């Protein structure tokens, strides 16, 4: 894991450009404190901050050169061992044990199609000294970041937006469309858009080609949907188990010690259980955050169930105090590069801090499973909507009654739940999200925004698959991955997410709806496939917690009250009367719009 920077700049002097490169690398030093490398040729300047994980020798430092190619790279190619063997059979010779060198040889062998061979997370730039062209690629899910400014015949790039502020072409103009999406939906970005009008993100699963001042972006992968596996459920369970086990196996490849985040939920517990299963009791550290207090959630009882079953796991805990939250909020917000949409990123920040202070450089985390295995409770709307679409009225009613009974909803809320399911039958995802965007919270942006503010295409497959696809690529996971990257790299920790092995995701989209949700159990295939290795209490968990914090309901009235008490000099694009009313209601004890209050407060803090 590392930080990459660079630019193609035909203007200014070489000394000025070298000074600028140094400034950019300094801003991203936290991403790779083990080594800093620079290289330039004519108008191209490349820089690299290295966090040494695989092949710790100096020979694996970057920028890395091979024949007429020079590369800077951030990420891990977990199947580099197998790819290296293929390339050796084709006559390639290697001089390091790094995955970086494998990328360069793969690019020589297969060109831009090399990325189709990779299992991993990456953002890399390869410069061809002969053709003067840049080839850029970002992994299939956008786990690793890549931002750029393209202005005329110049091209600047970095792993973090804050780094690009050093560019002479950076402009502070806000992207009002993204401001609206952030406030109303909680998204940190959308497709190639960021909070800055002139800073672009390379979208997930895309390659970028830069040549002679022109940028071309091409999507190289998307999971196939709408074609379902003709397998028995036992065969599906076996296949899922095998794919997950292999993902964990290759995600453990490292020349430094690996640990795990452990929340006590299904996903992180599954990772720890599989690590112990395939590593035969490997001594292994887990890391957990908890809160104590009235109404706070403490997951240690579930964590203890994992520890009982796997005694070789050594748990490390931390409970942030109000003083911790107050003292570290600004630093966490600085690293995020965007106004936060919820308070859970603070818990993750302290988790990564704990991991770093324990001397661990690589950690496995459970991100991604909820998005494609239907882990969220609002997946039931699409599941029941799909039943109605197939005229299975009895099944739809039974599922509605059962799930609402489980979560303790009243009769009126049960009827409302069924109505939302019916709406998902009648309307496409675009309509449902447009409605949420405009109506769920008071719309706070005054200025006209470009319509549509986002586009959700209908994809082949069930209603549920459509919903899950956009959770992965549009509505939820991109923001979660930005939190994951910034929080981990703030402490020079490489966070790996084995559920986002594209082979697992491709297989999951061949599963029927009832393989993902059955008898009110979310992530059914995961539960059943891993039942033999999970503690019973984890397998049977019905609730979905995530990173639960005192945040929106308490912190803004306690350690972070200064975010609300700050002078309300609203920018012109905010409806001041609506904003003031929302804050006044919150200060009088109304928590119904607590998430919007958090977003608005963090937006104003970020703008300042």
Q: Where are the domains of the chain?
A: 2-219, 233-372+473-539, 550-608
Mean pLDDT of 489-502: 98
Same fold, 2-219 and 233-372+473-539: no
Q: Closest by alpha carbon to 470, among 333, 564, 374, 329?
A: 374
pLDDT value of position 198: 97
Q: Is the pLDDT of residue 599 over 70?
A: yes
pLDDT value of position 223: 97
Per-residue confidence band for 75, with pLDDT thresholds at 50, 70 and 90: very high
- C-alpha span between 210 and 126 (Å, rounded): 10
Tokens of 471: 């959770």
Mean pLDDT of 511-525: 93
Nearest 5°: CA angle at 382, between 409 and 550? 50
Question: pTM value?
Answer: 0.96
Q: What is the percent of the chain where pLDDT is above 90?
A: 87
Per-residue confidence band for 412, with pLDDT thresholds at 50, 70 and 90: confident
Q: Closest by alpha carbon to 257, among 344, 299, 316, 310?
A: 316
Q: Is the pLDDT of residue 606 over 90?
A: yes
Cross-strand bridge partners of residue 123: 74, 138
Q: In what order do the strands lie in the sheet with 362-364?
A: 313-318, 284-289, 258-261, 362-364, 494-496
Q: Is the pLDDT of residue 301 over 90?
A: yes
Q: What is the residue whose two structure tokens read 């193609």?
A: 8
Q: What is the number of residues in the chain?
A: 608
Tokens of 241: 């188990």
Tokens of 360: 């661990």
pLDDT value of position 247: 98
Mean pLDDT of 192-208: 98
Domain 2-219 has CATH 3.40.640.10: no
Higher pLDDT among residues 547 and 210, named by residue:
210
Q: Is the pLDDT of residue 519 over 90?
A: no
Mean pLDDT of 42-46: 95
Spelled out in words, what is the top-level CATH class assigned to the domain 233-372+473-539? alpha beta
Q: Is the pLDDT of residue 546 over 60?
A: no
Mean pLDDT of 79-92: 98
Q: Are 18 and 38 in contact (CB under 8 A)?
A: yes
Higher pLDDT among residues 201 and 417, named by residue:
201
- C-alpha span between 146 and 166 (Å, rounded): 16
Q: Closest by alpha carbon to 365, among 475, 244, 267?
A: 267
pLDDT value of position 545: 58
């Amino acid at each position: 894991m590392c930080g990459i920077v660079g630019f193609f700049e035909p203007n200014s002097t070489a000394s000025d450009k070298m000074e600028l490169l140094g400034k950019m690398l300094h801003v991203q030093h936290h991403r790779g404190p083990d080594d800093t490398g620079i290289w330039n040729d004519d108008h191209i300047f490349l820089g690299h901050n290295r966090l040494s994980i695989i092949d710790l020798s100096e020979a694996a430092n970057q920028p890395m050169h091979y024949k007429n190619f020079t590369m800077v790279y951030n990420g891990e190619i977990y199947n580099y061992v197998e790819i290296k063997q293929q390339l050796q059979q084709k006559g390639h010779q290697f001089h390091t044990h790094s995955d970086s060198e494998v990328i360069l040889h793969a690019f020589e062998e297969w060109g831009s199609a090399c990325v189709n061979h990779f299992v991993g997370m990456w953002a890399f730039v390869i410069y061809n000294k002969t053709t003067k062209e840049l080839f850029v690629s970002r992994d299939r899910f956008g786990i690793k970041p890549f931002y750029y400014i393209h202005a005329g015949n110049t091209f600047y790039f970095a792993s973090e937006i804050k780094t690009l502020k050093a560019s002479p072409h950076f402009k502070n103009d806000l992207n009002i469309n993204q401001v609206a999406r952030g406030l109303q939906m909680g998204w940190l970005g959308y497709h190639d858009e960021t909070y800055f009008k002139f800073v672009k993100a390379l979208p997930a699963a895309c390659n970028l080609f830069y040549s002679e001042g022109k940028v071309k972006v091409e999507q190289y992968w998307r999971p196939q949907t709408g074609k379902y596996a003709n397998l028995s459920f036992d065969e599906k369970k076996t296949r899922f188990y095998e794919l997950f086990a292999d993902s964990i196996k290759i995600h453990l490849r490292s020349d430094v010690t690996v640990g795990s985040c452990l929340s006590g939920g299904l996903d992180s517990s599954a990772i720890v259980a599989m690590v112990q299963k395939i590593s035969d009791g490997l001594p292994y550290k887990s890391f957990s955050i908890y809160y104590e207090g009235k109404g706070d959630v403490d997951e240690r009882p579930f964590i203890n169930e994992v520890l009982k079953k796997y005694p070789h796991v050594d748990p490390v805990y931390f409970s942030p105090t109000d003083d911790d939250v107050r003292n570290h909020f600004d630093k966490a917000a600085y690293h995020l590069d965007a106004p936060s949409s919820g308070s859970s990123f603070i818990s993750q920040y302290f988790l990564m801090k704990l991991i770093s202070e324990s001397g661990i450089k690589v950690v496995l985390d459970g991100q991604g499973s909820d998005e494609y295995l239907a882990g969220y409770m609002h997946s039931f709307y699409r599941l029941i909507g799909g039943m109605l679409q197939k005229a299975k009225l009895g099944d739809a009613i039974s599922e509605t009654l059962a799930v609402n009974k489980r979560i303790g909803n009243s009769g009126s809320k049960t009827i409302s739940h069924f109505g939302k399911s019916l709406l998902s039958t009648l309307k496409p995802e675009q309509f449902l999200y447009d409605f949420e965007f405009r109506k769920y919270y008071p719309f706070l942006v005054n200025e006209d925004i470009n319509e549509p503010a986002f586009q959700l295409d209908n994809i082949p497959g069930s209603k549920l698959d459509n919903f899950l696809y956009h959770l992965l690529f549009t509505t939820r996971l991109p923001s979660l991955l930005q939190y994951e990257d910034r929080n981990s790299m703030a402490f020079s920790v490489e966070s790996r997410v084995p559920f986002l092995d594209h082979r697992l995701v491709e297989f999951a989209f061949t599963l029927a709806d009832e393989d993902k949700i059955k008898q009110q159990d979310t992530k059914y295939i995961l539960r059943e496939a891993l039942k033999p290795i999970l503690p019973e209490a984890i397998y049977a968990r019905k609730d979905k917690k995530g990173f639960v914090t005192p945040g929106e309901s308490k912190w803004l009235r306690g350690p972070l009250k200064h975010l609300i008490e700050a002078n309300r000099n609203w920018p012109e694009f905010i409806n001041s009367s609506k904003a003031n009313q929302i804050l006044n209601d919150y200060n009088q004890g109304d928590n119904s719009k607590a998430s919007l209050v958090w977003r608005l407060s963090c937006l104003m803090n970020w703008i300042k």
